[in-house]
């Protein structure tokens, strides 16, 4: 596709020649600094002839996307100043790291935050050297980059992050550059529909710029090779009014970009003013920009006779092998000098005053906007006393409740109490009601800016429950919302949270690095409620059964992640309160939504959750003595089956001394050296004994428990039951039977491992075998579980 | 949005009244059978008044989407017959399981495959009872469903599966129903662009039908609430010509659907004929259908005074609580009788002949199309002798090579040798060249149907390397390709393969169940090459570093998954050959792309890979005696560091007896009872000793090795080094240093654990500490690794 300037030439020319000269100079300055970061160790102002010793021995960085990002940044500065905008910059093409860093240095923020990199020649030298250099800064946008809320690593999430940032920030505009590579990803492709969830009255605006750079690493991009008409249709279909800026001639492009930005800002303001004055919240057609510029714009046109500017060869370092090709050093010097650094920087290496004046000031600088360091703006969430929502549990196991429904009452009141602050949202892929959090709809609605019909149920433009059938979008919105200093929770079917495994990785990495950066302030934790879990997907079947997200999570740094398996409603309330108050973590809560016995009073729950693990004395009969067997459980269904097994054993082998341990906080199982919540070895040994058999009923894949405990004294006697990938559409109890996690298998496991039962064991094993045959016969005949399973209740005899 | 018939009323009326009557009857028959499956245990023909005892005690199933899917199926039968089409049906809304099963029974396939479910009243009773019933069949489309290649579980992959199925099947049309819920997912949103990769000459066609059912579980869908114009624009933007079929009146809708299908089939044939005659492969504008029908169409309009048909309340079972609400039993009977079963089935319960004739015959039935049981069509891949590509390795560690580049030569010739069969493709997100598989471009190109410019590099409509920056789409295409009986491989950056974690889950589950179904024939394995791995993302930094896909994979069934970590080019060749020849597995190969020492000759590599694990005697000095320490390694970088550590130890502590073990097949570490490749305990003990320290250098997260080996005798002496989430942009060697996996830390680990070194240990530890200080100083000064690291070569003295 040829570069044309047809569009732009017919547009107005808003810049005076003086403005044009300056804006172009500012852009050249940022390009110069970008190339310098990629290449130079020394001689930053090129005051001496460039030689190999001034050049980095390893060239790591990406030029291709950078001049385009710099072009946009420079122009955003102009409209921020002329319109007094509150704006942040979200750049999908994270490879453009050098450009973003260059701008933060030009506008002073970088030196304010990192005083060792001042705005002079020595600072410029440090700026260059540190980039993509061991002990320096990463090559992509990263937490180290002032003004960034978006890691430039994995692609796909720029747009959902930008929307997350502007929800409930009516004054904020997030300019979001979507690379045409990233635009091919699924998460990005659906994130365009976020505009159906943006309320012009109470939310800010996103200004998407689709940057048609033309090429990925070694390939053209799909969108860059569509016809103008097709691409225009696509974005009209996505609900936008596209404005085109295309070309390569800097002067024309500056006029075109300035004129277009003037137009789109006027559009955005008109939409907002109209909606806010009239209260009319019909979904507007938001503007967006399609910017087509050459990849590696202003870089070497050809290298070694091969096309480079405007081609994928510009993706990383257009000039390489400088130690063996001296002519490349010359080319590099020519390239850098083409920006005319002497016109841009004074003798000391500082940006000339007439250019520095082009940047906004103070917190209006995109690199210093407090929304990009959300912890600065974070307000404590107003959380009611969770004890007020407690289920009354006079005796363990006598009362039933749906745990997540109880949690829903707490979330409802959190929503209500923070209604004025507008800083709490609940995300989920169409499952808020299904996950029994429906109480939220007593105080708010589902966010909805598309058409609303009379029959609709709790849809409203100002709803605060956000449902879209895209786990990616839910996660991206929530991340953007949290990174800009707000609070939230994401509820999801357990199996399908794997859809965002990779997004979880990136957010965990962001948090890990942010914690090491003093100026990054703590933000609210990312909270997951995983429900409709593996043991209660009996009706949806095998495809909906996977408890492996926990395994994925525990691979990340111990000081970032927390995993909770509350066995009932009161423990779920306690854990929820803890998670909502925490900072800089990723909290995973796994809890069922079905009716189930309640075990702990609220006081007992608080005590239990505070330790994270504990002996349930009311269910044990070892009365302070060494038990014959330890029965441990983590998760609501395993807890139920364990207690049912304990009761069977009590009937069948009353002489057996059983200790019951329940684990809420999975991290307590790890050694203290591995995780701050880890139980000290001495306490672990006291609890689990040093040599007695442990039968551990676990919610997920059994080997995770081995992985967490392999260093513990009694690990050799640990026998774990859990999900072993045996599932289908069947009854709830049959699901646990298929995976050997049911009460009968647990009893059998105990018999196999306790010497004391040598005598009676044969009888007990025959008893459980008969029960399992009866179960199988019953479900295949009647399609439901035996009444003795459905109606089972903890007898409470040990109590 | 009101149901309108404006579009359809202006359309032709292709059906005679007789045809109309019959097609409507066939549709009613499938709806009747669908409701029957959801509700009934007995009384299938309603010959007796319906009572509670005829009804299932647990109602599990989804009605909402089913009548729409049945409507489409019935109409596809008609055009298959009138046009002699070779067609398969991919249904995104997997909840419509009962509809698909109903059709397979109506057309006889079900009874042919499952003779215990004949086409009569007793068969109908079994058909009803087994659905979503313990011991029966799942509630969603599943491998058990004849004619399905697409699990109806997680949403997002219908369209990429459909495209995968028709690549290289010029005669095949995949009709793909995209639910408007699924359309909100990211993977689906980008899969529309698959049409830029479909060649009308040599590929078949996909006919997408966007089914605007209107609602998800409890919410409207986004696309159903866009204006007609906006939605039209969106699909024009996606490269389609949309045809609309909207309404709820069956007669009008039948005429409209029939007319529209006639048109789109004519369009598809015209596109194909034109391209195939003229060789003109300009990207055509393929037709698609937007079908808007009420959710739960023909079901109860209202239940308990609440709107049900045309609303989300139809999603699952519109009538529930039948044991307590007798009026619901009446409603159910009325509903089922509204289909007039006596007109549809004869006294014996068989479909009336005049209706049965409406279905296609034999393999033209969508439920019996051999493409949906790909193993039937699978041709052996023609694979050259991989030994011909071997790197000559006269002595271990003296030669260097890029392992994946060598693999690329093999893949190139596989591509060439199977060019005529057109049954091998390579997928990847724009990384084929970057991953050093560029030799493929000597014999083929990248598939590209969008605009091609003169400068473009190996783009062609008939290319067989498929690159799109969407891991989801790559995976979905490959799955569709494999499930229809072809072969392929997916190469990906290791960190970003987590993007498809959830797709991997679903495919693994599909394979697990398929293996248990005798009529499902084995298909080619899904092969991953993960390269640009964690240890060689030093330039891209922390966001690109994650080796956890292996952990994710090993949670799945042992008889499905294989993980290989070949340490050099010849082992990679051997493993690649093995994977390409295997069936019904998911093979994960992790191998670097950088220059690295080569260890094994091809004969040694074959022997080593055949065992999967082995003592490297040439690197060991225990000469058949019990060693003082075992140094184990898995992965190319850990192998390099282990050998470097061995050499340091040889210099510093020549008295130490070291045994070096290398692991290619990770599954050998597990007990034999856990995985068929597991080493028997006796052999494991002989190899790893029963009591000597083991220092294990592993490619990924260290705890995985513990998880795999915790039952082994010597597990207590096992010390594992691996990636512990410490990374940034730095040098390659610094990456291993940061994670304590480098040669110096390994030496130190040995010293800490071998009593024999009590004397000399202090000196050795000081030596390695000094080396690490020197390293740190060197890289922060010069930005590259010390020459002694870069130039290190195995001295071969032990050899």
Which CATH number covers residue B669?
Answer: 3.40.50.920
* pLDDT at site A3: 41
* pLDDT at site A337: 98
B217 and B275 fall within a common domain: yes
Strands B240-246 and B561-564: unpaired
Q: Is residue B699 a part of any domain in this protein?
A: yes
- Rounded to whole angstroms, the Cα distance separating A268 from A87 reads 13
pLDDT, averaged across chain B: 95
Neighbours of A335 (CB within 10 A): 20
- Rounded to whole angstroms, the Cα distance separating A428 from B467 reads 32
Between residues 56 and 75 of chain B, which touch chain A (CB distance below 8 Å)? 56-58, 60
What kind and span of H or E run contains B467?
Answer: strand B465-467
B8 pLDDT higher than 60:
no
Between residues 541 and 600 of chain A, which touch chain B (CB distance below 8 Å)? 541-544, 546, 548, 551-552, 555-557
pLDDT tens for each residue of A559-611: 899 999 999 999 999 999 999 999 999 999 999 999 999 999 999 999 999 99
* pLDDT at site A312: 86
A217-236 average pLDDT score: 95
B110 and B62 fall within a common domain: yes
* pLDDT at site B336: 98
- How many helices (H) and strands (E) chain A has is answered by 26, 22
* pLDDT at site A27: 98
Pick from A151, A235, A431: CB nearest B543: A151
| Three-class SS state of B176 | strand
Number of domains in chain B: 3
Is residue A268 within 8 A of residue A87, CB to CB? The reply is: no
A578 and A664 fall within a common domain: no
Is residue A735 within 8 A of residue A635, CB to CB? The reply is: no
* A589 contact partners, CB below 8 Å, separation of at least 6: A527, A528, A529, A530, A564, A565, A566, A572, A575, A576, A579
- Rounded to whole angstroms, the Cα distance separating A56 from B724 reads 29
Contact between chains at B556 and A780 (C-beta distance less than 8 A): no
Contact between chains at B729 and A136 (C-beta distance less than 8 A): yes
Q: Which residue of B has its CA nearest to A222?
A: B450
Q: Is residue B300 a part of any domain in this protein?
A: yes
B688 and B563 fall within a common domain: no
Residue at a domain's end among B561, B596, B631: B596
Q: Which residue of B has its CA nearest to A715?
A: B710
pLDDT tens for each residue of B106-164: 999 999 999 999 999 999 999 999 999 999 999 999 999 999 999 888 999 999 999 99
The region of weakest confidence among A314-323, A486-495, B367-376 is A314-323
A682 and A586 fall within a common domain: no
Write out the two tokens for B769: 């500490």
Q: Chain A closest CA to B295's CA: distance in Å? A: 14
| Three-class SS state of A651 | helix
Q: Is residue A686 a part of any domain in this protein?
A: yes
- Percent of chain B at pLDDT exceeding 70: 98
Contact between chains at A555 and B232 (C-beta distance less than 8 A): no
Pick from B94, B312, B434: CB nearest A218: B434
A714 pLDDT higher than 70:
yes
Q: CA–CA distance from A756 to each of A155, A628, A760, A761 (Å)?
A: 59, 8, 9, 9
B228 and B273 fall within a common domain: yes
Between residues 98 and 137 of chain A, which touch chain B (CB distance below 8 Å)? 132-137
A528 and A633 fall within a common domain: no
**pLDDT band per the 50, 70, 90 thresholds, residue A217:** confident
**pLDDT band per the 50, 70, 90 thresholds, residue A7:** very low
Between chain A and chain B, how many beta carbons pairs sit less than 8 Å apart? 353
| Contacts with A41 from chain B: Cβ below 8 Å | 783
**pLDDT band per the 50, 70, 90 thresholds, residue A540:** confident
Contact between chains at A433 and B218 (C-beta distance less than 8 A): yes
- Rounded to whole angstroms, the Cα distance separating B314 from B65 reads 8
Is residue A138 within 8 angstroms of chain B, CB to CB? Answer: yes
**Which residue, among A365, A692, A441, A385, has the nearest Cα to B219 in the 3D structure?**
A441
Write out the two tokens for B145: 């469903």
* pLDDT at site B758: 87
Tell me the torsion sign for CA atoms A313, A319, A321, A324. Answer: positive
| Rg of chain B, C-alpha, whole Å | 30
Is residue A306 within 8 angstroms of chain B, CB to CB? Answer: no
- Rounded to whole angstroms, the Cα distance separating A566 from A441 reads 24
Residue with tokens 């003169």: B454
Is residue B706 within 8 A of residue B715, CB to CB? The reply is: yes
Chain B interface test: which of A163, A431, A502 (most B C-beta within 10 Å): A502
- Rounded to whole angstroms, the Cα distance separating A427 from A433 reads 12
A181-203 average pLDDT score: 98
- Rounded to whole angstroms, the Cα distance separating B142 from B139 reads 8
First-to-last CA distance in chain B? Answer: 79
Write out the two tokens for A345: 């920087």
**Which residue, among A161, A209, A165, has the nearest Cα to A183 in the 3D structure?**
A209
Is residue B709 within 8 angstroms of chain A, CB to CB? Answer: no
pTM of the complete model: 0.97
A457 and A361 fall within a common domain: no
Contact between chains at A154 and B455 (C-beta distance less than 8 A): no
First-to-last CA distance in chain A? Answer: 79
A439-448 average pLDDT score: 97
Residue at a domain's end among A372, A399, A419: A372
B479 pLDDT higher than 90:
yes
- Percent of chain B at pLDDT exceeding 90: 90
Q: Is residue A797 a part of any domain in this protein?
A: no
Q: Chain A closest CA to B312's CA: distance in Å? A: 10
Pick from A132, A217, A505: CB nearest B434: A217
Is residue A217 within 8 angstroms of chain B, CB to CB? Answer: yes
What kind and span of H or E run contains A191?
Answer: helix A186-191
Is residue B493 within 8 angstroms of chain A, CB to CB? Answer: no
Residue B209: beta bridge partners?
B177, B289
Is residue B756 within 8 angstroms of chain A, CB to CB? Answer: no
Is residue B454 within 8 angstroms of chain A, CB to CB? Answer: no
- Rounded to whole angstroms, the Cα distance separating A158 from A177 reads 8
Is residue A117 within 8 A of residue A137, CB to CB? The reply is: no
Q: Chain B closest CA to A22's CA: distance in Å? A: 34
Q: Which residue of B has its CA nearest to A446?
A: B219
- Rounded to whole angstroms, the Cα distance separating A25 from A74 reads 10
Is residue B710 within 8 angstroms of chain A, CB to CB? Answer: yes
Residues composing chain B: 799
* pLDDT at site A11: 66
Contact between chains at A238 and B234 (C-beta distance less than 8 A): yes
The region of weakest confidence among A221-225, A509-513, B92-96, B674-678 is B92-96
Residue at a domain's end among B324, B347, B372: B372
Q: Is residue A377 a part of any domain in this protein?
A: no
How would DSSP label each residue in B699-722?
SS-THHHHHHHTTSGGGGGEEEE-
Q: Is residue B156 a part of any domain in this protein?
A: yes
**pLDDT band per the 50, 70, 90 thresholds, residue A222:** very high
* pLDDT at site A6: 45
* pLDDT at site A218: 84
Contact between chains at A186 and B184 (C-beta distance less than 8 A): no
| Rg of chain A, C-alpha, whole Å | 30
Phi and psi (nearest 5°) for B504?
Answer: -55, -50
B79 pLDDT higher than 90:
yes
Q: Is residue B4 a part of any domain in this protein?
A: no
**pLDDT band per the 50, 70, 90 thresholds, residue B798:** low
pLDDT tens for each residue of A141-184: 999 999 999 988 899 999 999 999 999 999 999 999 999 999 99
Strands A629-634 and A658-663: parallel
Contact between chains at A233 and B234 (C-beta distance less than 8 A): yes
A463-478 average pLDDT score: 98
Residue B424: beta bridge partners?
B487
pLDDT tens for each residue of A302-351: 999 999 999 888 888 999 899 999 999 999 999 999 999 999 999 999 99
B11 pLDDT higher than 90:
no
Query: What ipTM describes this predicted complex?
Result: 0.96
B637 and B500 fall within a common domain: no
Chain A interface test: which of B440, B452, B501, B554 (most A C-beta within 10 Å): B501
Is residue B137 within 8 A of residue B38, CB to CB? The reply is: no
Contact between chains at B232 and A234 (C-beta distance less than 8 A): no
Residue B178: beta bridge partners?
B210
Q: Is residue A381 a part of any domain in this protein?
A: no
* pLDDT at site B539: 80
Q: Which residue of A has its CA nearest to B62?
A: A540
CATH number for the domain harbouring residue A248: 3.40.50.970
Write out the two tokens for A572: 């779920």
Q: Which residue of A has its CA nearest to B230?
A: A237
* pLDDT at site A10: 59
Is residue B334 within 8 angstroms of chain A, CB to CB? Answer: no
pLDDT tens for each residue of B495-505: 999 999 999 99
A176 and A316 fall within a common domain: yes
- Rounded to whole angstroms, the Cα distance separating B629 from B626 reads 9
A281 and A355 fall within a common domain: yes
**pLDDT band per the 50, 70, 90 thresholds, residue A703:** very high
Q: Which residue of B has its CA nearest to A157?
A: B186
- Rounded to whole angstroms, the Cα distance separating B464 from B301 reads 51
Pick from A184, A506, A779: CB nearest B543: A506
Domain that holds residue B624: 614-790
**Which residue, among A289, A543, A183, A153, has the nearest Cα to B186 in the 3D structure?**
A183
A135 and A193 fall within a common domain: yes
| Contacts with B457 from chain A: Cβ below 8 Å | 218, 312
- Rounded to whole angstroms, the Cα distance separating B87 from B368 reads 10
Neighbours of A542 (CB within 10 A): 25
Q: CA–CA distance from A416 to each of A383, A434, A441, B572 (Å)?
A: 10, 21, 11, 59
**pLDDT band per the 50, 70, 90 thresholds, residue B795:** confident
Between residues 164 and 193 of chain B, which touch chain A (CB distance below 8 Å)? 181-182, 184-193
Q: Chain A closest CA to B437's CA: distance in Å? A: 13
**pLDDT band per the 50, 70, 90 thresholds, residue B3:** very low
């Amino acid at each position: 596709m040829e570069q044309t300037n047809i569009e732009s030439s017919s547009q107005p020319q808003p810049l005076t020649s003086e403005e044009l000269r300056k804006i172009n100079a500012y852009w050249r300055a940022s390009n110069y600094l970008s190339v310098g970061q990629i290449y130079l160790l020394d001689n930053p102002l090129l005051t001496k002839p460039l030689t190999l010793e001034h050049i980095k021995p390893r060239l790591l960085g990406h030029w291709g996307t950078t001049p385009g990002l710099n072009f946009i940044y420079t122009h955003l500065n102009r409209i921020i100043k002329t319109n007094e905008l509150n704006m942040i910059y979200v750049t999908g093409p994270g490879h453009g790291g050098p450009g973003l860093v260059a701008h933060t240095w030009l506008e002073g923020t970088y030196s304010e935050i990192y005083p060792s990199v001042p705005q002079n020649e020595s600072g410029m030298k440090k700026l260059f050297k540190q980039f993509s250099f061991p002990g320096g800064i990463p090559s992509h946008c990263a937490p180290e980059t002032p003004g960034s809320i978006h890691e430039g690593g994995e692609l796909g999430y720029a747009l959902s992050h930008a929307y997350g940032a502007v929800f409930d920030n009516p004054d904020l505009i997030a300019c979001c550059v979507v690379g045409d590579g990233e635009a091919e990803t699924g998460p990005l492709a659906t994130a365009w529909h976020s505009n159906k969830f943006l309320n012009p009255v109470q939310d800010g605006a996103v200004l998407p710029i689709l940057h048609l750079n033309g090429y990925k690493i070694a390939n053209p991009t799909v969108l860059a090779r569509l016809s103008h008409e097709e691409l225009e249709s696509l974005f009209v279909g996505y609900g936008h009014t596209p404005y085109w800026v295309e070309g390569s001639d800097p002067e024309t492009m500056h006029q075109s970009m300035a004129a277009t930005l003037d137009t789109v800002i006027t559009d955005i303001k008109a939409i907002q003013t109209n909606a806010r004055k009239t209260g009319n919240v019909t979904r507007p057609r938001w503007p967006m920009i399609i910017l087509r510029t050459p990849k590696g714009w202003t870089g070497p046109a050809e290298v070694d006779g091969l096309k480079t500017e405007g081609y994928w060869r510009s993706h990383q370092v257009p000039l390489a092998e400088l130690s063996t090709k001296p002519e490349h050093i010359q080319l590099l010097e020519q390239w850098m000098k083409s920006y005319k650094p002497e016109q841009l920087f004074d003798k000391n290496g500082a940006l000339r005053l007439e250019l520095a004046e082009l940047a906004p000031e103070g917190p209006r600088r995109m690199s210093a906007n407090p929304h990009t360091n959300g912890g600065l703006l974070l307000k404590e969430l107003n959380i009611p006393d969770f004890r007020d929502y407690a289920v009354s549990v006079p005796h363990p196991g006598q009362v039933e409740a749906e745990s997540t429904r109880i949690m829903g009452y707490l979330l409802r009141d959190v929503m209500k109490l923070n209604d004025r602050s507008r800083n709490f949202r609940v995300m989920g892929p169409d499952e808020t009601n299904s996950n029994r959090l429906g109480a939220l709809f007593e105080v708010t609605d589902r966010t909805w800016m598309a058409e609303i019909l009379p029959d609709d149920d709790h849809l409203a433009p100002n709803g605060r429950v956000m449902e879209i059938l895209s786990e990616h979008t839910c996660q991206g919105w929530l991340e953007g919302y949290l990174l800009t200093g707000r609070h939230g929770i994401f509820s999801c079917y357990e199996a399908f949270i794997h859809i965002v495994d990779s997004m979880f990785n990136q957010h965990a990495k962001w948090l890990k690095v942010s914690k090491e950066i003093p100026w990054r302030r703590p933000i609210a934790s990312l909270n997951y409620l995983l429900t409709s879990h593996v043991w209660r997907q009996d009706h949806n079947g095998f495809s909906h059964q996977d408890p492996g997200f926990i395994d994925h999570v525990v691979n990340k740094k111990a000081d970032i992640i927390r995993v909770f398996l509350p066995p009932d409603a009161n423990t779920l309330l306690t854990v929820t309160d803890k998670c909502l108050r925490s900072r800089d973590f990723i909290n995973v809560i796994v809890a069922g939504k079905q009716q189930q016995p309640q075990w702990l009073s609220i006081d007992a729950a608080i005590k239990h959750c505070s330790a994270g693990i504990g002996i349930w004395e009311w269910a044990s009969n070892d009365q302070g003595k060494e038990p014959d067997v330890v029965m441990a459980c983590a998760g609501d269904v395993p807890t139920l089956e364990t207690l049912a097994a304990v009761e069977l054993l009590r009937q069948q082998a009353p002489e057996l001394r059983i200790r019951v341990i329940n684990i809420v906080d999975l991290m307590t199982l790890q050694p203290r050296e591995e995780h701050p919540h880890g139980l000290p070895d001495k306490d672990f040994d006291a609890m689990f004994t040093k040599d007695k058999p442990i039968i551990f009923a676990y919610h997920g894949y059994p080997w995770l428990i081995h992985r967490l405990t392999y260093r513990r004294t009694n690990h050799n006697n640990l026998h774990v039951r859990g999900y072993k990938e045996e599932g289908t559409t069947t009854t709830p109890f049959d699901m646990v039977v298929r995976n050997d996690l049911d009460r009968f298998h647990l009893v059998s496991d105990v018999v196999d491992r306790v010497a004391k039962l040598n005598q009676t064991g044969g009888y007990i094993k025959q008893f459980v075998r008969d029960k399992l045959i009866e179960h199988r016969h019953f479900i295949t005949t009647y399609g439901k579980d035996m009444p003795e399973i459905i109606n089972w209740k903890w007898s409470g005899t040990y109590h």
